[in-house]
Amino acid sequence: MRNLVKLAAMGAAAVIATVGAIAPASAHGEKSQQAFLRMRTLNWYDVAWSKTTVNVNEDMVLSGKFHVFSAWPQAVANPKSSFLNAGEPGPVLVRTAQFIGENFAPRSVSLVPGNDYAFQINLRGRRAGRWHVHAQVNVEGGGPIIGPGQWIEIKGDMKDFTDPVTLLDGTTVDLEHYGIDRIYAWHLPWLAVGAAWIFFWFVRKGIISSYLTVADGRADEAVTDEDRRIGAIVLALTILATIVGYAVTNSTFPRTIPLQAGLQKPLTPITTEGTVGVGKEQVTADLQGGVYKVPGREMSLSVKVKNNTSEPLRLGEYTAAGLRFLNPDVFTTKPEFPDYLLADRGLSTDATPIAPGETKEIQVKIQDARWDIERLSDLAYDTDSQVGGLFFFFTPSGRRFAAEIGGPVIPKFVAGDMP
């Protein structure tokens, strides 16, 4: 008995210590996703949040673009059925509208590998607090693919939130409160009936006595004729309540539309010159070889670049998994972007521009602690150890040209140069 008391006291102390150490979760969940999933599926760029501070009921816009990687990983389901979403910790902001290109996209869409798409999500502040909000695309069979995130502060009181919409008959309803009383009116009685039914059988028979009856070979005695009559009466009342409820609901809401679950296609991809594979003037980047040095958090790539434009080019940025590695010789000012995703001095290469029509092999070094912090260094442990992403080249006149880059790299786990 004394030992039991000691064990109980120790358990209680452990629970108290654990509860006392609880703190709000603030980590970025995208870090838990595999490196290949984040680098070789969707390449996000030009992502912007119109505001970082909003009030309850105030609108903001999350917009940007993504490139569907042409060498889509075989281990991930094809994005032929995908859904644009905002990644957030619950409905802290509500979506009022969303678009892919010029298409209103409230349902699943079909994405084509190799294409680029612009997106816009209109959001409205709902719950006060400081929240991390991402762009996100859910792929059927492949799960969520999370884009870059930004901290959004929402001020005010959630009790003041409203979400008015106008129905097809001209009636305006508040979705935040619409139908709540009806939900309670239907669910609570059914919960009470279910609880009473379970309680009835527990009290009338009991689990242990019923088990002993069956174990003793008298299973036919476990349910009596009176039990069957009671069950039949309850079944009849349930069917009657369902029929009456259906009739009442149908008369109250004579005009209804089923939930829309179809696949929306085709979508209009980006056709602006400078996008991967678009226009007469293009840039291609072919990976000749690469090494990822784990101790130095450094990616060294040998890339053959073909400049099919009318101006000289310089490599200014590499982006993958929402991270941006910038060449400080090209980006003389730091762009506005979440700091945890921005390595403003993370890329270096030959400063000599690539002339129009020239094909040139360049050496690119991409080095920053964010490789490790954001767990992209885990590509060294993937079964195929391949890198993916986008290169952005810039002309003296300020034009930008994107090129997809991808292929195998060799991980190196010791310091120093490769032999």
- The upper half-sphere exposure of residue 271, i.e. CA atoms within 13 Å in the direction of its Cβ, equals 3
Sole residue written with tokens 């602690």: 369
46: left (phi over 0), alpha (psi -120 to 50) or beta: left
Q: Which residues contact 49 (CB under 8 A, 6 or more apart)?
A: 60, 61, 62, 133, 150, 152
Q: Are residues 190 and 316 in the same domain?
A: no
Q: Are residues 46 and 136 in the same domain?
A: yes
* Per-residue pLDDT at 204: 75
Domain for residue 63, yes or no?
Answer: yes
Amino acid at 317: E
Q: Which residues contact 225 (CB under 8 A, 6 or more apart)?
A: none
Q: Are residues 42 and 161 in the same domain?
A: yes
Asked if 155 and 53 touch (Cβ cutoff 8 Å), the reply is yes
Question: Taking 60 as the threshold, does the pLDDT of residue 1 lie above it?
Answer: no
Separation CA 101–CA 119 (nearest Å): 6
Domain for residue 127, yes or no?
Answer: yes
Domain boundary among 137, 165, 193: 165
Amino acid at 339: D
State the sign of the Cα–Cα–Cα–Cα dihedral 361, 365, 371, 372.
Answer: positive
Separation CA 285–CA 307 (nearest Å): 9
Q: Are residues 393 and 340 in the same domain?
A: yes
Residue 257 CA to its chain's centroid (Å): 28
Strand blocks (E) in 20-163: 42-49, 53-55, 59-68, 82-87, 93-100, 103-104, 116-125, 129-139, 143-155
Asked if 382 and 407 touch (Cβ cutoff 8 Å), the reply is no
User: Cα dist. 293→304, 378, 408, 413 in Å?
Assistant: 21, 12, 14, 6
Question: Taking 80 as the threshold, does the pLDDT of residue 417 lie above it?
Answer: no
Phi/psi of residue 39, nearest 5 degrees: -95, -25
Number of domains in the chain: 3
* Per-residue pLDDT at 262: 82
Q: Are residues 161 and 184 in the same domain?
A: no
Q: Are residues 138 and 95 in the same domain?
A: yes
The three-state secondary structure class of 331 is coil
Separation CA 388–CA 37 (nearest Å): 10
Q: Are residues 57 and 158 in the same domain?
A: yes
Q: What is the pLDDT of residues 61-99, one digit of tens each?
A: 999 999 999 999 988 999 999 999 999 999 999 999 999
Average pLDDT of the residues of the chain:
89
Asked if 298 and 318 touch (Cβ cutoff 8 Å), the reply is no
131: left (phi over 0), alpha (psi -120 to 50) or beta: beta
Q: Are residues 138 and 235 in the same domain?
A: no
Confidence of residue 29 (pLDDT cuts 50, 70, 90): low
> Could you tell me whether strands 143-155 and 53-55 are parallel, antiparallel, or unpaired per DSSP bridges?
parallel
Q: Are residues 223 and 319 in the same domain?
A: no
Domain for residue 276, yes or no?
Answer: no
Domain for residue 265, yes or no?
Answer: no
Give the residue numbers spanning the domain of 397.
283-412
Question: Taking 90 as the threshold, does the pLDDT of residue 36 lie above it?
Answer: no
Q: Are residues 243 and 184 in the same domain?
A: yes
Question: Taking 50 as the threshold, does the pLDDT of residue 23 lie above it?
Answer: no
Amino acid at 362: I
Q: 165 forms bridges with which residues in the sheet?
A: 173
Residue 14 CA to its chain's centroid (Å): 35
Question: Taking 50 as the threshold, does the pLDDT of residue 4 lie above it?
Answer: no
Domain for residue 293, yes or no?
Answer: yes
Confidence of residue 10 (pLDDT cuts 50, 70, 90): low
Q: Are residues 70 and 98 in the same domain?
A: yes
Q: Which residues contact 230 (CB under 8 A, 6 or more apart)?
A: 200
Question: Taking 70 as the threshold, does the pLDDT of residue 11 lie above it?
Answer: no
